[in-house]
Amino acid sequence: MESREHPTEIATSDQNSLADASTVGAEGTPSVHAAEKDALPVTEPLTFPEGGLDAWLCCLAASVSMFCGFGLTNAWGVFQTYYEEKLLTQYDPSTIAWIGSFQLFGMFAGAGLAGPVFDRHGARHLMMWSSLAYIIGIMLSSISTEYYQLFLTQGLIQGFAGGALFGTGMVATNHWFREKRGIATGIVAAGSSLGGVVWPIALNAMLNGSTFGFGWTVRIVGFIDLGLLIVCCILVKGRLPRRDKIYFYDRDLFRNRVFLTYIAALFLCFLGLYIPFFFITVDAINKGISVSYAFYLITIINASSAFGRIIPGLIADKFGRLNVLFLAAAMSALLNFLWITSSNVWEITLFAVAFGFASGSCISLGSAAVGQLCPHPTKIGYYFSVALILCALGGLFGSPIGGALVDAHGGYDRAKIFGGCVGIAGVMLMALTRVFLEPRFFAKV
């Protein structure tokens, strides 16, 4: 075991095993725990490039993979409306929302499952197989006409495969950056926002303004993603030593009250975070907004979200990721209540801009904070996976609960109140996490 005076170090060997003889706290302070059975003698200090061609190309390619995967999930509102009005008219909104919710669940759960696999096998093969599965899911959904078919292809296959793409890109980026992790993960996460801008416009044009029809619309999306993901498979790569086997349980994580409180906060925040993404279009139409403009509200949310993922990342690297994340989560929760009072096109548009910015900050900084709270950088994949599975559960149940409230009360206000209340509960736990780490009010955390 190492003493507290020695810097954090890792082992490199012919088998690329890692030494876990020491851990690093949120600010890089070493702490001692019992060495794992696979630990090896310490040989080399751990460093992060914080830039360079390979690092930024990996970051950019990870962002492109988010554009292909998570970006299309962010366009679910277009599919929700299309299914309600044309393809699945015999089903109620809550039932249809389960497809999108399960896809969202798969995005986070798939990323969570990919984390330990990444720690053992690295990025290349994981990226290739995830890309192949994702394209297969898109192409199969293009020939789907029944609810169960869309649930399996769009919800299950695209969800989990897209999640593996998300997890691989995000963990790989964390291998290259530490001090600049906020802006780097913000750039990666901005890819999904860009996809959320481009895909709704493209889907709306092809589904409602052309003769392509549903099948060819989805196939065109698949061919575009195929070309982009081939490039991503080449450029996304990790650099830290791999673990000698896949770990799905780490007792130290479940003894870490700071991290457990933090992931509970993420669960509650994500329980309500995606309700506006799912229902803002239909809610706007019910309030008399034109159908053509209502479809663009998802695009507006995602365009604003792109700025929310990058700008707060820059600020967070200077003033503390948890500090900025707390403010963004509080803003997201409170905006749900303001959404209730929005009744005309300008008010709903202002809500979309504000919520997009705040929610984008939550998504990108939520991932960056995991890297900060992880006790050892070569365990990032595992800690990232546990956090994302909690986010996945929040995403899975949040929107269907909102849909059930809509069905029960005939309006969207109860769903908005639900999103705001669970968001506030999450903010309270996030504040507790911050106090556990550093009770001083103005400290950088």
pLDDT in tens, 86-114: 889 898 877 888 898 889 888 888 887 88
First to last CA, the chain: 28
**366 touches 13 (CB < 8 A):** no
Q: If you ran DSSP here, which 8-state letter would residue 152 be given?
A: I
Q: How far apart are CA 190 and CA 185, in angstroms?
A: 8
Structure confidence at residue 243 as a pLDDT band (50, 70, 90): low
The mean pLDDT value for 195-203 works out to 88
- The pLDDT tens digits of the residues spanning 360-400 come to 888 878 877 887 787 776 677 778 788 888 888 887 888 88
- Is residue 406 a contact partner of residue 94, using CB atoms and an 8 Å limit? yes
- Of 99, 196, 186, 105, nearest in space to 151 by CA: 99
Least confident window among 45-59, 257-271, 386-400: 45-59
Q: How confident is the model at residue 36 (pLDDT cuts 50, 70, 90)?
A: very low
Q: 69 and 134 in contact (C-beta within 8 Å)?
A: yes
Look at 223 and 43; give whichever has higher pLDDT. Answer: 223
Q: Which fold has domain 53-437?
A: Growth Hormone; Chain: A; (1.20.1250)
What is the maximal distance between C-alpha atoms in the chain?
Answer: 69
Q: Domain ranges in the chain?
A: 53-437
Q: Are 108 and 389 in contact (CB under 8 A)?
A: yes
